[in-house]
Structure 1
Amino acid sequence: MNPKIVNGKIIADSPDLDGIYIVNLKTQAGTVSEKGGYFSVAGKVGDTIMFSAVQFKGLKVTLNEEDFRNALLFVKMESLIRKLDEVKIIQYKNINAVSLGIVSPNIKRYTPAERKLRTASKTYSGVGVGTTLGLSSGLDPILNAISGRTKMLKKEVEIEKKETAMDKLNNLFEYTYFTNTLKIPVEYVKGFQFYIVEEPKFVVALNGKNKTLASFLMSELAVKYLEIIKEK
């Protein structure tokens, strides 16, 4: 059975019904609702459709045959009411990103941190090869030092990956998207960005430039983050 289009309308005790994220969890295809809460999404019987927005509780709907026969699928969403306590402005220190190396597109690209780790790993694997037991024991402090540096470089690679994700995030979404759409308080935007780049699924969507899926995942993460800062 080929996917068919289901037309629907979101209803809620709120006039703000556009921009709600709608994703078919099976196909990962997504869209956003238009003014008035109207939407169209492709799917098959049995597919689960996820509806998500920061102002509403997340909702999952499993499609059945009747949904395809009806003119409109009505989806009722429940509003979320949040009251944030007065918060203090927190200054976040910027982490300087490591510059990316300019290399030929035809060869394997390594970031500066990855090149350091690769060099250290080769050094570590080469030390002690063919040595006697006594000499190997004498090399233990050297091997331990190299091992410690390798661990440090691995952490540096992870930090660099997060910095790269932050750059992609800021290039893909305007600052006002976080404050106006996701309702993140201005003083918490940078903290929220660091929070979401820790989520593997979001980073995969970000690296794949899947803006619809990234937006959907961000809306879910925003709900969790707002609850976290509310408890502080």
Structure 2
Amino acid sequence: MAQTVEFHGTVVSDAHLDTENIHVINQTSQRYTTTNKDGHFKMVAKLNDTIMFSSIQFVPKSIVISTELMQSKILLVHLEEQINVLNEVLVGKVLTGDLLSDIQNTEGKAPINFYDVGIVGYTGKQATQSERRLHEATTGGGFMPLNPILNGISGRTKEIKEHVRIERKDALMRRIRSGLSDEFFVLNPLDEDVRMDYFYFCMDDKDFMNACNNKTDLEVLVFMEKKYVQYVQNRTQNKN
């Protein structure tokens, strides 16, 4: 029974929460892995090893490898949602619902920011969710240096980079549509029901970001007019 076997496991949540990137740790042998997007994982263990499952959104759970598990080589793990219950706290003065009365009954002070206490703070553009995931996947987020290696092997980093690229293209096209659509379609008529299709046609061009990102309105319009000619030609050919 000292034999070491590879277990195939699945983590599931009764609350139907995301079970990707759950930490799976063999505390006995100090082996480590994470679950994939479907909650699946593989872990090598032997009899009486303790397997720990840990994540921010779930209650930690430990499983001791038994004789029955050694024979089945399958781990099905149910995790409970981590719910933090706070005691009821009364902050400030009680409000009545009468706006004029409540205004007179409250005291407001300007919030303290990092400049007030002499701390240098970040004032740049806030990252999107995909950009934050990409930073964590490629740097470990400052906490888990194993993440960049594991994500590189699994291909997760490449997948997140693709999400970031698509998000940036979509955000750029939304800015172009809101700022230049009216002016563009006055000189380049196109039916309302195909205008969105035209914009996707522009986005699909491999030079879309280089031609339009951080460019002047005139440069963007030149690119859009070139794609407009191609789009109209394609529609004409398809009709014929």
Q: TM-score, normalised by structure 2?
A: 0.40
Name the larger-Rg structure. 2
More contact order relative to length (CA 8 Å, sep ≥ 6):
1
Q: TM-score, normalised by structure 1?
A: 0.41
